Amino acid sequence: MKRIVEGGRLAGFGAAYFFASGAFMSYWPVWLRDRGITDPEIGTLFMARQMVSVVSVLGMGVLAHRLGRLRGMLLALAAGAIVMMGAYRLSYTFLALLLVGVVWGCVWSPTMALYDGVLVNEAKARGFVYGKLRVLGSIAFIAGTLICGVSVDRFGPPSVLYVGWAGIVCLLPLALLLPRAEAHRRDAGRHAPFGLLDLFRSPPFLLFMIGAGFCQSSHAVLYSFGTLTWRGAGLDDVTISLLWGESVAVEILMMMGSGWLMKRVGVTGLIGLGLAAGLVRWTGMAFTTALPALVFLQALHAFTFAACHLGAMAFIQRALPSNGTALGQSIYYALGTGATQAVIYQFAGLLYARYGQHAFLGMTAISAIGLVAILMLMRLWKGELLVGKHLS
């Protein structure tokens, strides 16, 4: 019972975060269109938010690396997110939404990076399986998606903001349940054995960033224009929300079985599976909106997102010492996924405006590049700590 309570305390914050993410990821473009934003402008808004999040995530990661006090930082970021939701409510022009989105990127993206740092360290120190701690978050994502879909169907696009806001308000009390500091010594971050430039000089770490980062970034067209594509094909909002919910349901199954699968394919093998599945998923989405096909393609989210994410977290956990996890997480989120997605989001808007659904083929190319990087990493890295051998 004690372990269940401990696990619940660790997972609760993520549940609130992912509830809001479920609403935003599936229906935020619909909310933006309802405010008169064009497709290229949607791409620009996503890109601007991602670009500023690169600097913010990296800066917060360096700060956490030095201080090792993640709970206080998460509390401050949660308070900022609540305020920025109010700013979004009052924004109606492209310029206003752009300015609010820039500030939003400063508080929302670092939250996930720092929280994952808590989970990775606590899982390692207390014997939890990281994937199982993330399951509650995935369930909350499904709830956010379904509730948002039903709300849009009944009350229209403005309800997207309020559904997401409900999850964000819960972040503050749930942050208080997190550990005050990481499982390692409180002053460990001040004596970390490596820094930012050391990781940039590591060939295995750079290959990991390209492979895992490109796998996650290949979702850019889906996240920006998936719902709009399916709406244009005649699917109703409840069905669309169920498609989003399905993708996270299979993600949960993947996380529950992550230990079994990792033992068989390895850390880099999980990321490779995600990239290989991306070749199939994005090519399929470029040519069909038939519901049976979409059900199958959304099921591949278990690999393109979940398997890749689990592999990425396991790589950071095994390749870096505990007092370097926050820095490694932040570099991965800021540059591996954030910077890459920022560029791809902008091109996604331009590609979608010109080619529509066929913009997904660009994500197939991204997956192929990432797969090459992971195959190279498999040959170079054999599971050892990067400190000492590759960072010296």
What confidence score (pLDDT) does residue 272 get?
Answer: 97
Q: Quote the CA–CA distance of 165 and 151 in Å, as a whole number.
A: 13
- Domain 2-380 classified CATH 1.20.1250.20? yes
Give 266: exposed, middle or buried? Use CB within 10 Å, 0-12, 13-18, 19+.
middle
The gap between the terminal CA atoms of the chain, to the nearest Å, is: 45
Q: Is 69 left (phi over 0), alpha (psi -120 to 50) or beta?
A: beta
What confidence score (pLDDT) does residue 68 get?
Answer: 67
What confidence score (pLDDT) does residue 188 get?
Answer: 44
Tell me if 251 sits within 8 A of 302, measured CB to CB. Answer: yes
What confidence score (pLDDT) does residue 158 get?
Answer: 93
Tokens of 8: 């619940």
Angle formed by the axes of helices 220-232 and 258-287, nearest 10°: 50
Q: Which of 223, 374, 368, 372 is nearest to 311 (CA)?
A: 374
Q: What are the distances in angstroms from CA 343 to CA 43, 120, 164, 220? A: 9, 28, 25, 10
Q: What are the distances in angstroms from CA 209 to CA 223, 238, 315, 321, 349? A: 21, 36, 10, 18, 24
What confidence score (pLDDT) does residue 82 get?
Answer: 93
Tell me if 105 sits within 8 A of 334, measured CB to CB. Answer: no
What confidence score (pLDDT) does residue 194 get?
Answer: 62
Tokens of 67: 């201080």
Predicted confidence pLDDT, tens digits, the chain (392 residues): 677 777 788 888 999 999 999 888 778 988 999 999 987 888 788 878 878 888 888 888 778 777 767 788 899 999 999 999 999 999 999 999 999 999 998 999 889 888 887 887 777 777 777 777 888 888 898 899 889 989 998 999 999 999 999 999 999 999 888 887 544 444 444 444 566 777 888 899 999 999 999 999 999 899 888 988 999 999 998 899 889 889 888 988 888 887 788 888 999 999 999 999 999 999 999 999 999 999 999 999 999 999 999 999 889 888 887 767 777 877 888 888 877 877 887 778 788 888 999 999 999 999 999 999 999 999 999 888 876 444 44
Every domain of the chain and the residues it spans: 2-380
Instruction: Say which amino acid occupies 87.
Output: A
Tokens of 345: 């989001």
pTM above 0.85, yes or no: no
Tokens of 329: 């997480």
Q: Quote the CA–CA distance of 163 and 9 in Å, as a whole number.
A: 23
